[in-house]
């Protein structure tokens, strides 16, 4: 037995938050009976939303190269969303988010357990970003970023940084706090000119062009969860 909102999420119908909203609105039934938040069901139960049955779909795992100037959302009344690029019959949802002006690797799926595994902090799934600043940064300042920057919601965890030139570098982190990279460097007096996620774990974009997506193989999915060790730094 599982909570119905979790079943809806795992079947890729919607996020858990959206499922809870549908339940509160009285739009979800199990075996013909309208349910409440916290009610449970089995995979054999007949679940309907607005009287339409929710079938168990094939598991879908997509990698998408998010272009600039679109938002990570299912729908939006004003702005273009990542879903406008995903042309498949199955329902999928984004795993986490990238900001409007942040580009690069975004995962989409209809597997709620997979999404939770990628996003949960305890799993420490590393994300690699390419950062371009509007002004030059010194090696000492990059060392400070590696060690951790004090922000209003806590000190950032140690990061791995690979420098290409005085304004351009890779940074590897596993924290998912809102706009954490932009906030880190803003605190240090810098402005991020461009930000692109190029890897999640050991999964990289490869030759995928902006606006393109591909379905992942099992081998590619496994690469997401390969451990990347970031050395501890003494502050």
CA-CA distance, 228 to 204, in Å (whole number)? Answer: 14
Other CB atoms closer than 10 Å to residue 14's CB: what's the count? Answer: 21
Q: Which of 52, 55, 87, 99 is catalytic?
A: 99
* H or E stretch covering 182: helix 180-187
Residue 107 · residue 75 · CB < 8 Å: no
| Strand ranges for 52-138 from DSSP E | 52-53, 61-66, 93-95, 102-109, 127-133
Residue 180 · residue 172 · CB < 8 Å: no
CA-CA distance, 4 to 135, in Å (whole number)? Answer: 51
Has 99 been annotated as catalytic? yes
Encode 191-208: b = buried (16+ Cβ within 10 Å), e = exposed. Answer: ebeebbbbbbbebebeee
Looking up tokens 């809806």, which residue turns up? Answer: 8
CA-CA distance, 107 to 232, in Å (whole number)? Answer: 28
Active-site residue numbers?
99
């Amino acid at each position: 037995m599982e909570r119905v909102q979790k079943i809806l999420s795992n079947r890729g119908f919607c996020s858990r938050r959206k499922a809870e909203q549908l339940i509160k609105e009285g739009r979800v039934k199990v075996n013909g009976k309208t349910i409440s938040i916290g009610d449970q069901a089995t995979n054999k139960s007949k679940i309907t939303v607005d009287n339409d049955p929710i079938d168990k779909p094939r598991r879908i795992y997509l990698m998408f190269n998010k272009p600039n100037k679109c938002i990570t959302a299912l729908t939006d009344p004003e702005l273009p969303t990542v879903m406008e690029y995903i042309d498949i019959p199955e329902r999928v949802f984004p795993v986490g988010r990238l900001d409007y002006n942040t580009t690069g690797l975004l995962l989409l799926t209809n597997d709620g357990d997979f999404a939770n595994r990628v996003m949960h902090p305890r799993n420490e799934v590393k994300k690699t970003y390419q950062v371009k600043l509007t002004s030059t940064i010194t090696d000492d300042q990059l060392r400070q970023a590696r060690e951790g920057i004090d922000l209003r919601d806590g000190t950032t965890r140690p990061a791995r940084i690979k420098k290409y030139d005085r304004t351009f570098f890779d940074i590897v982190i596993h924290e998912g706090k809102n706009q954490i990279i932009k906030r880190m460097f803003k605190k240090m007096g810098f402005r991020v000119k461009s930000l692109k996620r190029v890897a999640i774990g050991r999964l990289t974009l490869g030759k995928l062009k902006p606006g393109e997506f591909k379905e992942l193989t099992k081998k590619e999915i496994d690469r997401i969860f390969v451990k990347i060790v970031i050395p501890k730094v003494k502050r």
